[in-house]
Structure 1
C-alpha cells in the first residue's frame, strides 16, 4: 500500500485510470480531506439520497464517530473460515491500494465496516434475508469525527474503461450533496403495536436448559427471544441513533444498512479494540437493574457484586477471554475482581482485559478466537452454539455477532451486537437474551430480558 502526497483530484483519478489500464485490473484509490466540523446524523441523513447502504459507528469511550455512505467494495463470506477468508481478501485489497492522506488519523482512509452473524451454520431466514452471513464494506464516502475535527475520505474503485471527467463530476455532485447538511426535523417513531414471540415457550426452553445443564449436557447456555414492534410510519434512522447516543452514553452505537433495512443497537459490550498493537477486550456479564434512588442503586450494585449466580457467569467469560487473548498476545493484564459498570437502565459486572498483540496477528484473528464468548453463547463454546441452533426458536442473524470497523493501519474495534433491533420500514424486531445456568429461574430470566429490551424500546416509541 502506497501513501503519498495529495495532488489535485483530477490528477489522482487520471493516474489511477492509467494504472488500471496498465495492469488491466481495478485500482482502489483513497483520498482524505480535513473539512469543517460536520454533524454525523445530518451527514447520514444526506447520504440516503446517494445509496441505500449506510453505516454508522460511535465509540462508547471516546469522541469518535464513523459514518459511511455507499460502497466501493463489499467483502462477504458464507464459509466456516469466514474470518480468515475476509482477512485474506482485506489484505489483498489494501496491498494494491493507493492512499493520499496528509493526516494519518485512525479511522480515515481505507476503512471497512460491517459484521458477522452469530452462527454461520444457521439458515438465513426471517427476518434476516437482506443480510449476508458476513459482510465488510469499504464506503465510497466516510466521515470520521475525532471530537469536533472532521475528516472526509473519498474512496474510488477505478476500472480501465472509466472516464476521468465522469468520475470527477459524479464525485463532486455526491460531495456537495453530503456536505449540504441542512437542518432537518428529528422525529422519533410512534409505536402502534407490539407482539412478544412465544414468551411461554421461551420460559419453557429456559426450564429445559436448566434440566439439561444439571444432566451435564453443557455448563451454561444463553437463550434469546424476540419482540416485534409496529409503528405509525417508517422509522427515521437518524433520529433513533441520535437518541441512543444521548441516552446510552456508555454504549457503542451502531447501524448497518442493507437494502433499506437497518440493524441498529446500543451495546455496552466491547469484543476487542486494537490500536498500535495494544489490545483491549472486555468481560461484561452479570446484570441487575438500576435503582430509583442513589441508595437503592448502590444496594443493587452490591447485590450484583456478591451474587453467586452472576459471579459464576462473569467468571466463565473472564476465563474464556483470558485463554483466547493469551493465544495471540503477551503482557496480558486482568484485574482480580470485577467492578460495577453502570448504564442508564442496567448495571453489569465488568472486567477489562489488556494485552500487546503478537506480530503476525490481526484484529480479525482476535475476534475469531473470542466469538462467541460465554456471555453470548455459553459453555462449552461448541456445544452451547449447537444447543442454541437446535432449541432456540429465534433466528439470531447478526444479533449477538461481532460488529465494528478496521482500517488499513491495523486499528479497529468490534463490539457484540446486543441491545439491538432490526428496522424494516414501519416495523422492527428487538432481541434480548440471558445466561442460563443450573439454578436459573425462568420467570426471573424473562424479567431480565424485559429490562434489556428497554434501551431500544425507549427510543422506538416506548418510555
Structure 2
C-alpha cells in the first residue's frame, strides 16, 4: 500500500499505469479530495446514471454518510467468509496506490457490504442476487463527516489502459454525480399487503417454547415475512429520504445487487471501531411508544421492570462481553440498561466499550458477535439448528451484519433488522422476536407487527 500526498488525477493515473506495466498486474488507484457540499440523497439519486450498483450508509444521529456509485472491485466468498473477506481486503490494499491526505474515517478505499444470516440455511430464490458475503469498493464514494464532503475515486488500472481515456470517463462521471441536482422522485404507495403463513408461524412459536421448557435452549429468535405490492416500481432515493426524516436514531442503509435492493433503518449497532477503540451495544427488549408523555413514560417503566424483556436483554449483554473478551481489553459494561427511544418503538439499551488489541480487526469482532442472542438465541448452535429446521423464511441478509471498513482499520457494522428487500414493484419485509419459556404466540405475533411499522410507514403503507 502506497500512501502519498495529493496529486492531480492525471498524474495519479499516469503513475498507476506505469506501476501496472512494471508489475504486469492491475492496480487499485484511490484518490480523495474535498468537494462542495452536496445532499447525500441527491448524490445517491444521481448515481443511477453511473454504471454499476449503489450503496448507502448513514448513522443519522451522528450526521455521518457514505454513498457509493458503481463498483471498482468486490470481495466475495461462500466458505470461510470472514477470513476470506479479510484476506482479499489485505491483498488488495498491499498493491493499492492511495492518495489521501485527510485520514478521515470512511475516506479512501473502503469496503461496504454484508453477510448472510446463516450460510447453512437452505436458500430460496428470494435472495438469489445476494451472496453469502459481498463487499463493494465503490468506484465513486461520497463521505460526509462533521459537515465536510469528501469524494474518493477508486479505479482499477490495467497495464494496457490509456490515461486520457480513463481521465475522460472519471471527469464525465463526476459531472453526472455532482451536477444537475434534480428534484427527488416521489415514493411508492402500497396497494396490497400479504402476511406469510401467520397461523403456522404462531405454531412454530409454540413449538419453540416447548423446546425451551424441555431445556433444549434458553431462547430462540423467530422471524417472519410480509410481502407488499406497490402502485409502481419503488424509487430507493425517496424511501431513504423518508427514513432519514423519520428514523433519527437509526443506521440507515441500502445495498443494490442487480435489480434488487436491501434497505432498512436499524437501531441496533453490532460494533464500531475507531482508532482501535471498540463500541458495541446491547439492544433487546421492545415496547411501543405512548401517545402522551405520561403514557410513554409508563410504558418505558414497565419495560424496565418486565422480567421477560430484562432476561432477554441480559442474554445479549453477557454474550457480547464473552464474545469480545478474547480480542479486547479494558471492557466496560454498565450494570443496568436504560431506555432507547425511537419514533415507533423503545428498547432496553446497554452500551459496551473496550480497547481492541492491535492484532485483531473489526471483521474478527463481527465473526465473534454474529449472531447475537437478539437475532439467533441461546445457546447459539441449538437455537440456529431450530431456526434452520423450522422457520418458514429465507432470512438472507436480514438479521445479519451489514456495514463498512476502511484502510485505516476503522469501521462500523449494524444488525440488519427493520428492513426490506425491494424487487421492482414489490418488497419483502422482515421482523422477528425472541421466544423464551413464557412466551405467548399471540403476544409475539403482535410484537412483530409493531416491528413492521417503521418500514411500512416509509413504503406508503
Scaled to the shorter chain, the TM-score interval is over 0.9
Is 1:124–1:133's contact at 8 Å kept on the other side of the alignment? no
Q: Which residue of 2 is the match for residue 371 of structure 1?
A: 370
RMSD across aligned C-alpha pairs, in angstroms?
0.9
Where 1:161 maps in the other structure, the secondary structure is: coil
Corresponding position of 1:179: 178
Per-residue displacement from partner, 1:307-350 (whole Å, max 9, x unpaired)? Answer: 00000000000000000111110000000000000001110000
Q: What is the count of residue pairs matched by the alignment? A: 461
1:123 deviates by 2.9
Contact 1:52/1:260 (8 A) holds in 2: no
Deviation at 1:222, TM superposition (A): 0.3
Distance 1:62 1:232 in 2: 34
1:110 is aligned to 2:109: yes
| Counterpart-to-counterpart distance in 2, 1:386 and 1:158 | 45
Aligned to 2:305: 306
Q: Does 1:85 align with 2:84?
A: yes
Matched residue, 1:191: 190
Post-superposition Cα deviations, 1:135-179, rounded to whole Å, max 9, x if no partner, equal: 011000000011421000000111111111111111111111011
Q: Which blocks of at least 5 consecutive residues in structure 2 are unaligned? A: none
How many Å apart are 1:272 and its aligned residue?
Answer: 0.2
SS of alignment partner, residue 142 of structure 2: strand
State the partner residue of 1:319.
Answer: 318
- Matched with 1:228 is 227
Cα shift at 1:126: 2.7
- Counterpart position of 1:59: 59
Alpha-carbon separation, structure 2, partners of 1:224 and 1:429: 12
For residues 177 and 184 of structure 1, the distance between their equivalents in structure 2, rounded to whole angstroms, comes to 15
Distance 1:402 1:93 in 2: 22
Please name the residue that 1:392 is paired with: 391
Is 1:32 the counterpart of 2:42? The answer is no
Could you tell me which residue of structure 1 aligns to residue 17 of structure 2?
17
Q: 1:181 Cα deviation (Å)? A: 4.1
Are 2:139 and 1:140 equivalent residues in the alignment?
yes
Contact 2:46 2:176 in 1 (8 A): yes
Q: Name the residue aligned to 2:428.
A: 429
For normalisation by structure 2, the TM-score amounts to 0.99
Displacement, 1:421? 0.1
Give the SS at the match of 1:361. coil
Cα 1:181/1:335, change in 2 over 3 Å? farther
Shift of 1:205: 0.4
- What is the CA–CA distance in structure 2 between the aligned matches of 1:281 and 1:185, rounded to whole Å? 35
Between stretches 175-184 and 436-445, larger displacement belongs to 175-184
CA contact (8 A) 1:43 1:181 kept: no
Looking at structure 2, the residues matched to 460 and 204 of structure 1 have their Cα atoms a distance apart, in angstroms, of 29
Q: Partner of 1:137: helix, strand, or coil?
A: strand
Runs of 4+ in 1 over 2 A off after TM superposition: none
For 1:301 and 1:396, locate their aligned partners in 2 and report how far apart those are by CA, in whole Å.
30
Task: Decide which moves more: 109-118 or 126-135.
Answer: 126-135
The answer (yes or no) to whether the contact 2:52–2:71 under 8 Å persists in 1 is no
Following the alignment from structure 2 to structure 1, what is the Cα–Cα distance between the partners of residues 394 and 277?
35
Assess if the C-alpha contact under 8 Å between 1:32 and 1:108 holds in 2. Answer: yes
Distance 2:122 2:84 in 1: 20
Shift of residue 60, structure 1, vs aligned partner? 4.2
CA distance, structure 2, for counterparts of residue 28 and residue 369 of structure 1: 30
Query: Within 2, Cα distance between the matches of 1:58 and 1:397?
Result: 22
Q: Distance in 2 between matches of 1:52 and 1:121?
A: 29
The separation in 2 between residues aligned to 1:5 and 1:185, in whole angstroms, is: 37
Alpha-carbon separation, structure 1, partners of 2:155 and 2:291: 52
- Structure 2 CA distance for aligned equivalents of residues 200 and 427 of structure 1: 23
Structure 2 residue 1 is matched with structure 1 residue 7 = no
Q: Is the 8 A contact 2:271 2:280 kept in 1?
A: yes
Contact 2:81 2:132 (C-alpha < 8 Å) held by counterparts: no
Structure 1 residue 183: Cα displacement: 2.6
Aligned to 2:45: 45
Q: Deviations over 1:215-236 (max 9, x none)?
A: 1121110000000000010011
Secondary structure, counterpart of 1:127 in structure 2: helix
- Provide the secondary structure at the position in 1 that maps to 2:62: coil
